[in-house]
Amino acid sequence: MTIKEIVSKQNQWNRMKSQFVLSRILIYFALMFAICSYKITSLNAESAPRKTFEEIKEEIAGYSEIAQQIINYTVYGIQQNRSYDRLALFVDTIGNRFSGSKNLEKAIQYMLKALSEDKQENVHLEPAKIPHWVRGEESAMMLEPKNYKIAILGLGSSIGTSPEGITAEVLVVNSFEELRSRANEAEGKIVVYNQPFISYGETVSYRFDGASEAAKVGAKASLIRSITPFSLYSPHTGWQGYQDNVTQIPTACITIEDAEMLRRMSDRGSKVVINLKMGAKTYPDVDSFNTVAEIIGSKHPEQVVLVSGHLDSWDVGSGAMDDGAGAFVSWEVLSIIRDLRLRPKRTIRLVLWTAEEPGGVGASQYYESHKADLPNFNLVMESDSGTFTPFGLRFTGTNQSRAIMKEIMKLLQPINATALYENGGGTDIDYWINAGVPGAALLVDTSKYFWFHHTDADTMTVQDPVQMKLCAAVWTVVSYVVADMDEILPR
């Protein structure tokens, strides 16, 4: 190659290199411009002044006509008893729906079809692994001082007994403190707790920890007075938890009547002997699903107001009150908004949780799948305290968001459901609330809720169509207004 050719090639290479460097520089500046533009836009969005509280009050007051329209349609309209009728058909068809059961599988498929036929949007299932515990045959027979059959309901996750059962003398105590003070009497006995009902939140610790506390002092089994203020000889079940590194013993609930009888016998100095048989077994976790449907928002479809109830129930009764009713008034929200041809700015998402009763198992897995989207969750709502006469809402959030919610509740003055109390959490939405998302729960008259809770008496007879439609009205007004306001609730 001649020198001239070499120089020509070198010049060509230098031109190519210069063009390459120039293009890289241009790309770099283009990227920097895009990043800066994004940051400026984000900064402007973040620093954009929120409405004053007076402006927000005025905006909310502007929803009074829509709120009245929702109330009129829900309480007095042609579909006023729809949530009750849907629930009755559901529980009469499926029955109870315990975690891991075939009935729960049927219920999920039933709702998937029903929501699709109701022309809801984005109807789908999201997978979860859930516990599978089966109570089996169970009985408790008093052998001394008389022959007497004691009504029991084994507690969830309890181990079973041998086929011949456990035959042992009874030690009756009224509290954990009394059990500890009489620990030297507990070895080899069946501990019976006769604790008084104070409140569900406080007294439920006996159901949850009673077996482990009895095992620590050498007991063979535990029988726990049902967690209820009232009984017509009905035992209540529920989930219990074994403590780590503590011997697992069988455990069940008995009625208030029998717990008090055993206490009286014990106080007289009578020797009480019981034979307890429980066929309870725990199987490997099974596949299940949370059931989802939506009304997709018109302006901010990625932002979500979540309404929910749990689809599973205990394996006694038909799960109408706990929590079929909560699930079905949540479904009613979507149906009402669709019927009235309303379209909020944000998405309203219905989630029917699976496996709430074993401790919010389905909701936990849903949260793990969606927590990356946490900033887009505006409000999470759960109905799981019955659908009796509504008073308003329980709410958890900042002082600013609470003030906004108080204004929204004023829209419910026509049905006298304007109260806003604290502690708006629930087993299935606490994951979001603990991460800072505002949360709400129906505030209803729960004076009779724990009469039926986790018993054979949880049937459609507990439900009242008037009370259900009032709850649906509260749920719909709140979810629609929050989803449609110009700004999200403050964090």
Q: Which residues pair with 170 in a beta bridge?
A: 190
H-state helical runs in 413-464: 430-434, 449-452
Binning pLDDT at 50, 70 and 90, where does residue 48 land? low
Give residue-wise pLDDT tens across range 321-352: 999 999 999 999 999 999 999 999 999 999 99
Report residue 55 as tokens: 């402006």
Q: What is the pLDDT of residue 393?
A: 98
CA angle 289, 292, 297 (to 5 degrees): 160
Evaluate whether 389 touches 377 at the Cβ level (below 8 Å).
no
For the sheet containing 152-154, what is the strand order? 148-150, 138-144, 273-278, 166-173, 190-193, 221-225, 251-254, 152-154
Residue 440 near residue 395, CB atoms below 8 Å: yes
Above 90 in pLDDT, residue 27?
A: no
Calpha distance 323→360 (Å, rounded): 13
Calpha distance 252→139 (Å, rounded): 10
Region 259-282 average pLDDT: 98
Residues 293/333, Cβ–Cβ less than 8 Å: no
Whether the predicted pLDDT of 52 surpasses 80: yes
Same fold, 56-131+284-484 and 136-279: no
Phi, psi of 297 (to 5 degrees): -65, 150
Phi, psi of 105 (to 5 degrees): -60, -45
DSSP calls for 147-214: -EEEPEEEPBT-----TT-EEEEEEEESSHHHHHHTGGG-TTSEEEE-PPP--HHHHHHHHHHHHHHH
**Single-letter amino acid code for the residue at 285:** D
Domain coordinates in residue numbering, the chain: 56-131+284-484, 136-279
pLDDT tens, position by position, 123-152: 999 999 999 999 999 999 999 999 999 999
What is the structure's pLDDT at 258?
A: 98
Residue 366 has pLDDT above 50, yes or no: yes
When pLDDT is cut at 50, 70 and 90, the band that residue 49 belongs to is confident
How confident is the model at residue 309, as a pLDDT?
98
CB environment 48-65: b (16+ within 10 A), e (fewer): eeeeeeeebbebbeebee
Say how far apart CA 458 and CA 475 lie, in whole Å: 22
pLDDT of amino acid 137: 98
Give which of 247, 140, 123, 104 is closest to 188, Cα–Cα.
247
- Identify the CA nearest to 292 among candidates 230, 240, 334: 334
Asked whether residue 17 carries a pLDDT value surpassing 70, the answer given is no
**Averaged confidence pLDDT in the chain:** 92
Architecture of the domain delimited by 56-131+284-484: 3-Layer(aba) Sandwich (3.40)
Closest CA to 165 of 274, 282, 262, 242: 274
**pLDDT confidence of 50, banded at 50, 70, 90?**
confident
User: Residue 483's pLDDT is what?
Assistant: 98
pLDDT at 25: 38
How does pLDDT run across 55-65, given as a tens digit for each residue? 999 999 999 99
Place of tokens 């039933």: 110
pLDDT in tens, 146-192: 999 999 999 999 999 999 999 999 999 999 999 999 999 999 999 99
Rounded to two decimals, what is the model's pTM?
0.89
Active site residue 332: no
CATH of domain 136-279: 3.50.30.30
- pLDDT tens column, 402-453: 999 999 999 999 999 999 999 999 999 999 999 999 999 999 999 999 999 9
Catalytic residue among 138, 213, 332, 356: 356
Q: 348: part of which helix (H) or strand (E)?
A: strand 346-353
Neighbours of 271 (CB within 10 A): 10
Q: Is the pLDDT of residue 35 over 50?
A: no
